[in-house]
Structure 1
Amino acid sequence: MSVKRLGIVMNGVTGRMGMNQHLIRSIAAIRADGGVRLNSGDVVMPDPILVGRNEEKLAGLAKAHGIDRWTTDLDAAIRDPRDEVFFDAATTQLRAELVKRAIDAGKHIYCEKPTADNLATAVDIASTARKRGIKHGVVQDKLFLPGLRKLKMVIDSGFLGRILSVRGEFGYWVFEGDWQAAQRPAWNYKLNEGGGIILDMLCHWRYVLDNTFGNVRSVSCLGATHIPERVDENGRPYQADADDAAYATFQLDGGIVAQINSSWCTRVRRDDLVTFHVDGTHGSAVAGLHKCWTQARVNTPKPVWNPDIPQTIDFFGNWQDVPDNAAYPNGFRAQWELFLRHLAGELPEFPWNLEAGARGVQLAEAGLQSWRERRWIDLPDLQF
């Protein structure tokens, strides 16, 4: 057995997502467990260098998680040939430029999404990566959620029959920041800083829909800015001019119709912060973050509309829980481990890449165009 060191430039790890999911629960956890063991018996051991602007935060994170290296000099980190991979979880507006620089330096790429704030740039960096022959991946974490993995198993088993429709509900109440602190940073609500729920979430819904139900072919989307004034992390009021809710309908391959509401202005009364309700000719399924329930054709109740008497049917009672027949690790870590195996040559294909990321940006851009022009927008196949 040999241990192969893999140097990773990790940019943006002082932010909430970069720190909690990518550093602590993925890379640091992999290191603590002795690296990723390949089928050959060899081990890939990530050796990250933490990059950001705040020296105190970087030093504290590095010390807390047994990491030797950190720097505020991003340019030097990208140039350093000792590190083979560039990872970015910082701001959307800067991502494409940083990824391009890392590609030019010969680095493999793994990054958050959106990969860019416009389609032309997202396609360009994906094409550049392909031409340079570097390996690349984009975080598509929701595919690795236990609930969606169970749902995919249900679909692949044929339990649902022909899928007719999908209804997704995502979101929760994000406090305005005045009498309670907001759970999301202020830039999410500012257009000039890359904010907006359409750009943020439609990138997610593209890979969820494409990989779980069918390729997205067109979209009709209405955005809204329901709360126009919020208070930032420093207690300063600001104008929230980015969309904080999106109401979208998608047409998928096979005649499937999907509707997904995304909102930071809704109070939750459903099974989870995100749920997908799928109806098919032979059965239905509902999936959340961790759980999945099914109802077969033979278990479907037969309600009759009668507004004059209270409903007697327990509509939750005829659903069955899909059991935890497999181990479901943290979704971010699961995809990180697959990418490390891809870099080691163990997985020849890695479909969750910059090209998939560009398709996510395509849907977000089409959603914004649909809202602006108040019409359906078709999504042609992209060329890379």
Structure 2
Amino acid sequence: MRIAMNGVTGRMGRRQHLERSVLALREEGGIDLGTGTVLWPVPVLVGRDGRKLAALAAHHGIEHWTTDLDAVLADPGIDVYFDAQATTARERALRRALAAGKHVYCEKPTATTYAGALGLARLARDAGVRHGVVQDKLFLPGLRKLRRLADGGFFGRVLSVRGEFGYWVFEGDWQSAQRPSWNYRSQDGGGIAADMFPHWEYVLRELFGPVRAVQARLITHIPRRWDERGRPYEATADDAAYGIFELEGGAVAQFNSSWAVRVHRDELLELQVDGTEGSAVAGLRHCRAQHRSATPKPVWNPDLPATETFRAQWQEVPGNGDAGEGVNAFKAQWELFLRHVAVGGPWRFDLLAGARGVQLAELGRRSSAEGRRIAVPEPAL
């Protein structure tokens, strides 16, 4: 299966999608489809910088690369088009791929506007192709353990979800930034709400229920940053987003997402879920739980030092061999998508799911601008 991979000279595209997913699947001998057939992924690198593409292809022994996207899409031997470009370039490229009849898989957000993202989903439906959007957080060991608790009824009625995500991204003046400068320019599709609200949409939907209303506050805490060449620029995109999401069924989720926060927690992403029967705290890899029957009875007394070690009162949730421990989350979803392209079957991580994420980010920005709660309708094709 030949896969045109556009945008893999960037950090995320190269590390997670090319090296740790597609090339890793090749190193494992391909994907056994269970019928005596092995699916062998063949990457074809696509991008704008021929020098970078040539170096990357030579480093990994990849035979084909090109800067001509139109030629790739016109090639009947290309089965799948994958896009990990900057967001502003994605919608146009995906439209061209769908018009060429290619199956498509892409990073999120799928477009800069909800109208554009929903339009892509409709084009894919009309083209009759298979399509997918990266929803990697669902395949992390910590969240897979959390899902097992939810599916098993551990929480009872879920009351609330509290999410903390982020870290300090250096401004780029005296220490280099860990993220590209376009992330901090709204005119280039940047902003943490555009980046992270699509994640929170699918995490909440898949584990606890769809978001039915949002109230958010978006902030640009650091107004001046320095780009990759050391030049100062005005940060016009939000670097922090504080959101309250009301879920179907009555649960309330609160997410703080920030690139201007210093980490004082076990992992860069941490979720706490509280229910009538139990609670759990999950990160990228770990998950700890406390059942109703084992919940201590804390007493508030600010006049005395705390004698309880609260973290020790929680039990580690085991992987039990089904939590994907030791498996890259991106690779896990790549394998599922390529199987879907090859043999079909149910698949819900599609361009409509991608549109829901863009919708939530767009409504979050509107909520912040207007200072009010906004209902989130269910998208329809």
Aligned match of 1:200: 195
Code of the aligned partner of 1:220: Q
Work out the CA distance in 2 between the residues paired with 1:350 and 1:151. Answer: 21
Q: Aligned to 2:301, what secondary structure does the other structure show?
A: coil
Equivalence for 1:33: 28
Identify the match of residue 269 of structure 1 among 264, 275, 278.
Answer: 264
How many residue pairs end up in the alignment? 378
Residue matched to 1:74 = 69
User: Residue 106 of structure 1 aligns with which residue?
Assistant: 101
Distance (Å, rounded) in 1 between the aligned partners of 2:219 and 2:35 = 52
Q: Shift of the alpha carbon at 1:34?
A: 1.2
1:191 is aligned to 2:189: no
For 2:170 and 2:50, how far apart are their aligned partners in 1?
30
Q: Does 1:362 align with 2:326?
A: no
- Say if 2:139 is the partner of 1:144: yes
* Structure-1 residue corresponding to 2:122: 127
Q: 179-188 or 53-62, which moves further after superposition?
A: 53-62
Asked if 1:155 is matched to 2:150, the reply is: yes
Q: What's 1:3 paired with?
A: none
What corresponds to 2:40 in structure 1? Answer: 45
Asked whether 1:349 is paired with 2:346, we answer yes
Out of 331, 338, 341, the residue aligned to residue 340 of structure 1 is 338
1:304 aligns with 2:299: yes
TM-score of the aligned structures, taking structure 1 as reference length: 0.97
CA apart distance, 1:324: 2.3
Does 297-306 or 114-123 show the bigger shift? 297-306
TM-score (norm 2): 0.98
Partner secondary structure for residue 83 of structure 1: coil
Deviation by residue 1:166-185 (Cα, 9 ceiling, x = unmatched): 00000000001011000000
Structure 2: gaps spanning 5 or more residues: none
CA RMSD of aligned residues (A): 0.8
Aligned position for 2:371:
374
Superposed CA offset, 1:230-272 (max 9, x none): 0111000000011000000000011000000000000000110
SS state at 1:149 partner: helix
> How much has 1:118 moved relative to structure 2?
0.5
Kindly report which structure 2 residues correspond to 1:229-308, keeping only aligned pairs within 5 A, or say none. Answer: 229-308=224-303
Instruction: Give the partner amino acid of 1:372.
Output: A
| Deviation, structure 1 residue 66 | 2.3
Please, which runs of 5 or more residues in structure 1 have no aligned partner? 1-5
Shift of 1:64: 2.0
Q: What is the percentage of aligned positions where both structures have the same residue?
A: 60
Residues 143-191 of structure 1 show CA distances to partners (whole Å, capped at 9, x for unaligned) of 0000000000011111111110000000000001011000000000001
Map 1:92-103 → 2, pairs under 5 A:
92-103=87-98
- Matched to 1:42, the amino acid is T
